[in-house]
Amino acid sequence: MERETLKNIDENELVPRGAMYIEGIAMVFEGRNYLVIFSALIASMFTILFAWYWGVIAGILSLFVAKFFRSGKSISHIAEVELGEVSINGPNLFVDHIQMMNIGLQQNKQIIQKHGVGLLIKPKNKNAKVTISSPGQRQAIIHNLSTIMGVYRDSDEPALVPMAKIDLDSGNVAVFILPREKNPDQIIQVVKGAPLLESSVRLPSESKRKGGR
Protein backbone atom coordinates (compact mmCIF):
# COMPACT_ATOMS: atom_id res chain seq x y z
CA MET A 1 0.00 0.00 0.00
CA GLU A 2 2.62 2.56 1.13
CA ARG A 3 4.84 1.36 -1.72
CA GLU A 4 2.23 2.46 -4.29
CA THR A 5 1.63 5.79 -2.53
CA LEU A 6 5.33 6.62 -2.33
CA LYS A 7 5.90 5.64 -5.97
CA ASN A 8 3.11 7.97 -7.08
CA ILE A 9 4.38 10.83 -4.92
CA ASP A 10 7.94 10.25 -6.15
CA GLU A 11 7.01 11.24 -9.70
CA ASN A 12 6.23 14.76 -8.50
CA GLU A 13 9.26 15.29 -6.28
CA LEU A 14 11.94 17.83 -7.25
CA VAL A 15 14.52 15.37 -6.00
CA PRO A 16 13.07 11.84 -6.13
CA ARG A 17 13.51 9.25 -3.39
CA GLY A 18 14.47 6.52 -5.79
CA ALA A 19 13.17 2.95 -5.89
CA MET A 20 15.62 1.64 -3.30
CA TYR A 21 14.56 4.15 -0.64
CA ILE A 22 10.89 3.40 -1.30
CA GLU A 23 11.53 -0.33 -0.95
CA GLY A 24 13.43 0.41 2.27
CA ILE A 25 10.51 2.35 3.74
CA ALA A 26 8.05 -0.35 2.64
CA MET A 27 10.20 -3.04 4.23
CA VAL A 28 10.39 -1.15 7.53
CA PHE A 29 6.62 -0.66 7.41
CA GLU A 30 6.06 -4.39 6.96
CA GLY A 31 8.53 -5.11 9.74
CA ARG A 32 6.60 -2.87 12.10
CA ASN A 33 3.41 -4.82 11.39
CA TYR A 34 5.15 -7.95 12.63
CA LEU A 35 6.29 -6.13 15.77
CA VAL A 36 2.66 -5.16 16.46
CA ILE A 37 1.60 -8.80 16.01
CA PHE A 38 4.43 -9.89 18.32
CA SER A 39 3.41 -7.44 21.08
CA ALA A 40 -0.24 -8.49 20.82
CA LEU A 41 0.67 -12.18 20.95
CA ILE A 42 2.89 -11.81 24.01
CA ALA A 43 0.36 -9.69 25.93
CA SER A 44 -2.59 -11.99 25.19
CA MET A 45 -0.59 -15.16 25.84
CA PHE A 46 0.46 -13.99 29.30
CA THR A 47 -3.10 -12.88 30.08
CA ILE A 48 -4.52 -16.31 29.20
CA LEU A 49 -1.77 -18.41 30.80
CA PHE A 50 -1.38 -16.34 34.01
CA ALA A 51 -3.35 -13.39 35.41
CA TRP A 52 -4.43 -10.20 33.64
CA TYR A 53 -1.73 -8.07 35.32
CA TRP A 54 0.99 -10.38 33.96
CA GLY A 55 -0.46 -9.63 30.53
CA VAL A 56 -0.08 -5.89 31.15
CA ILE A 57 3.53 -6.29 32.34
CA ALA A 58 4.46 -8.60 29.42
CA GLY A 59 2.81 -6.14 27.00
CA ILE A 60 4.88 -3.25 28.31
CA LEU A 61 8.08 -5.32 28.18
CA SER A 62 7.32 -6.40 24.62
CA LEU A 63 7.10 -2.71 23.68
CA PHE A 64 10.71 -2.25 24.75
CA VAL A 65 11.74 -5.29 22.70
CA ALA A 66 9.84 -3.86 19.71
CA LYS A 67 11.54 -0.47 20.18
CA PHE A 68 14.94 -2.20 20.11
CA PHE A 69 14.13 -3.96 16.82
CA ARG A 70 12.49 -0.87 15.35
CA SER A 71 15.56 1.36 15.42
CA GLY A 72 17.53 1.42 12.16
CA LYS A 73 21.05 2.64 11.53
CA SER A 74 22.01 5.93 9.93
CA ILE A 75 24.94 7.27 7.91
CA SER A 76 26.68 8.44 11.12
CA HIS A 77 27.22 4.76 12.05
CA ILE A 78 29.30 4.02 8.97
CA ALA A 79 30.88 7.30 7.87
CA GLU A 80 32.27 10.67 8.86
CA VAL A 81 30.66 13.71 7.23
CA GLU A 82 32.47 17.01 6.70
CA LEU A 83 32.20 20.09 4.53
CA GLY A 84 33.96 20.02 1.18
CA GLU A 85 35.26 22.98 -0.79
CA VAL A 86 33.22 23.82 -3.89
CA SER A 87 35.40 25.10 -6.71
CA ILE A 88 34.87 25.81 -10.39
CA ASN A 89 37.77 25.30 -12.75
CA GLY A 90 36.82 26.34 -16.29
CA PRO A 91 33.49 24.64 -16.93
CA ASN A 92 34.16 21.88 -14.38
CA LEU A 93 32.65 21.82 -10.90
CA PHE A 94 34.65 20.15 -8.15
CA VAL A 95 33.95 19.27 -4.53
CA ASP A 96 37.46 19.04 -3.08
CA HIS A 97 39.19 17.20 -5.93
CA ILE A 98 36.19 15.11 -7.05
CA GLN A 99 34.70 16.22 -10.34
CA MET A 100 30.93 16.60 -10.16
CA MET A 101 29.82 17.91 -13.55
CA ASN A 102 30.43 20.27 -16.44
CA ILE A 103 28.57 23.57 -16.26
CA GLY A 104 28.32 25.47 -19.51
CA LEU A 105 26.44 28.64 -18.66
CA GLN A 106 27.81 31.62 -16.74
CA GLN A 107 24.40 32.13 -15.11
CA ASN A 108 24.45 28.64 -13.59
CA LYS A 109 28.04 29.11 -12.42
CA GLN A 110 27.02 32.27 -10.54
CA ILE A 111 24.09 30.47 -8.88
CA ILE A 112 26.37 27.62 -7.87
CA GLN A 113 29.03 29.96 -6.46
CA LYS A 114 26.41 31.75 -4.41
CA HIS A 115 24.28 28.85 -3.16
CA GLY A 116 26.34 25.68 -3.64
CA VAL A 117 27.39 23.54 -0.68
CA GLY A 118 29.75 20.59 -0.96
CA LEU A 119 30.02 17.71 1.49
CA LEU A 120 32.44 14.86 1.84
CA ILE A 121 31.26 11.52 3.23
CA LYS A 122 34.23 9.47 4.40
CA PRO A 123 33.43 5.80 5.03
CA LYS A 124 34.88 4.36 8.25
CA ASN A 125 35.79 0.91 6.91
CA LYS A 126 35.71 -1.17 3.74
CA ASN A 127 32.19 -2.45 4.39
CA ALA A 128 31.03 1.16 4.58
CA LYS A 129 32.86 1.95 1.32
CA VAL A 130 30.87 -0.67 -0.59
CA THR A 131 27.62 0.27 1.14
CA ILE A 132 27.90 3.97 0.44
CA SER A 133 28.80 3.44 -3.21
CA SER A 134 25.29 2.10 -3.86
CA PRO A 135 23.45 4.63 -6.07
CA GLY A 136 20.19 4.03 -4.18
CA GLN A 137 21.86 4.89 -0.88
CA ARG A 138 23.35 8.05 -2.34
CA GLN A 139 19.98 9.07 -3.77
CA ALA A 140 18.40 8.56 -0.33
CA ILE A 141 20.97 10.93 1.21
CA ILE A 142 20.31 13.58 -1.46
CA HIS A 143 16.55 13.23 -1.11
CA ASN A 144 16.69 13.57 2.67
CA LEU A 145 18.91 16.61 2.37
CA SER A 146 16.66 18.31 -0.18
CA THR A 147 13.42 17.65 1.70
CA ILE A 148 14.78 19.01 4.97
CA MET A 149 16.98 21.89 3.73
CA GLY A 150 15.00 22.74 0.59
CA VAL A 151 16.53 22.88 -2.86
CA TYR A 152 17.34 25.95 -4.99
CA ARG A 153 15.90 24.79 -8.29
CA ASP A 154 12.71 24.53 -10.27
CA SER A 155 11.40 21.50 -12.11
CA ASP A 156 12.92 20.95 -15.56
CA GLU A 157 16.27 22.44 -14.58
CA PRO A 158 18.63 19.51 -14.76
CA ALA A 159 21.70 21.76 -14.53
CA LEU A 160 21.04 22.51 -10.86
CA VAL A 161 20.20 19.00 -9.75
CA PRO A 162 21.92 17.88 -6.53
CA MET A 163 24.27 14.96 -6.99
CA ALA A 164 26.62 12.58 -5.24
CA LYS A 165 29.73 11.26 -6.92
CA ILE A 166 32.23 8.74 -5.69
CA ASP A 167 36.00 9.08 -5.63
CA LEU A 168 37.09 5.69 -6.95
CA ASP A 169 40.51 5.81 -5.29
CA SER A 170 39.53 6.60 -1.72
CA GLY A 171 35.88 5.50 -1.72
CA ASN A 172 34.81 8.91 -0.42
CA VAL A 173 31.51 10.26 -1.64
CA ALA A 174 31.19 13.93 -2.56
CA VAL A 175 27.72 15.46 -2.33
CA PHE A 176 26.83 18.68 -4.08
CA ILE A 177 23.60 20.49 -3.29
CA LEU A 178 22.03 23.95 -3.61
CA PRO A 179 20.08 24.28 -0.37
CA ARG A 180 17.46 26.91 0.43
CA GLU A 181 18.82 27.17 3.96
CA LYS A 182 22.59 27.51 3.78
CA ASN A 183 23.41 26.33 7.29
CA PRO A 184 26.48 24.07 7.06
CA ASP A 185 26.23 22.57 10.56
CA GLN A 186 22.61 21.62 10.08
CA ILE A 187 23.36 20.16 6.63
CA ILE A 188 26.05 17.91 8.14
CA GLN A 189 23.62 16.75 10.82
CA VAL A 190 20.97 15.96 8.20
CA VAL A 191 23.40 13.84 6.17
CA LYS A 192 24.53 12.02 9.31
CA GLY A 193 20.90 11.28 10.16
CA ALA A 194 20.02 9.92 6.72
CA PRO A 195 18.81 6.33 7.03
CA LEU A 196 21.04 3.44 6.05
CA LEU A 197 19.04 1.40 3.57
CA GLU A 198 18.95 -2.28 4.41
CA SER A 199 19.13 -3.32 0.77
CA SER A 200 22.32 -1.31 0.21
CA VAL A 201 24.23 -2.76 3.18
CA ARG A 202 27.10 -4.94 1.99
CA LEU A 203 29.58 -6.78 4.18
CA PRO A 204 32.55 -7.89 2.08
CA SER A 205 34.67 -8.50 5.19
CA GLU A 206 32.15 -11.03 6.53
CA SER A 207 32.13 -12.82 3.20
CA LYS A 208 35.93 -13.21 3.33
CA ARG A 209 35.73 -14.82 6.75
CA LYS A 210 33.31 -17.42 5.43
CA GLY A 211 35.51 -18.20 2.46
CA GLY A 212 33.72 -16.02 -0.07
CA ARG A 213 30.32 -17.64 0.44
Partner 1 sequence: MAKILAIVTTAHQGINNGGVPTFNVNNKEEFEEISLKLEKILNATAHLLDGETMIIVEHHNE
Please, what is the minimum distance in Å from the beta carbon of residue 187 to partner 1? 22
Output the DSSP codes for 140-173: HHHHHHHHHH-BS--TT-GGG--EEEE-TTT--E
Query: What is the C-alpha to C-alpha distance for residues 104 and 85, in angstroms, rounded to an integer?
Result: 20
> Which amino acid does the sequence have at 123?
P
Residue nearer to partner 1 on the CB measure, 71 or 106:
106
Among 52, 89, 104, 209, binds partner 1 (CB under 8 A): 104
Give yes or no for residue 175 binding partner 1 (CB under 8 A).
no
Give yes or no for residue 90 binding partner 1 (CB under 8 A).
yes
Q: Which stretch binds partner 1 (CB under 8 A): 20-28, 51-59, 99-107, 188-196?
A: 99-107
Query: What is the C-alpha to C-alpha distance for residues 126 and 177, in angstroms, rounded to an integer?
Result: 26
At 47, which helix (H) or strand (E)? helix 19-49
Residue nearer to partner 1 on the CB measure, 77 or 114:
114
Please, what is the minimum distance in Å from the beta carbon of residue 90 to partner 1? 8
Among 88, 161, 188, 201, binds partner 1 (CB under 8 A): 161
Q: Which stretch binds partner 1 (CB under 8 A): 56-64, 100-108, 117-125, 200-208?
A: 100-108
Residue nearer to partner 1 on the CB measure, 103 or 177:
103
Locate the DSSP E strands across 38-171. 79-84, 86-89, 92-95, 98-102, 117-123, 163-166
End-to-end CA distance of the chain: 35
Residue ranges binding partner 1 (CB under 8 A):
90-91, 101-108, 156-159, 161
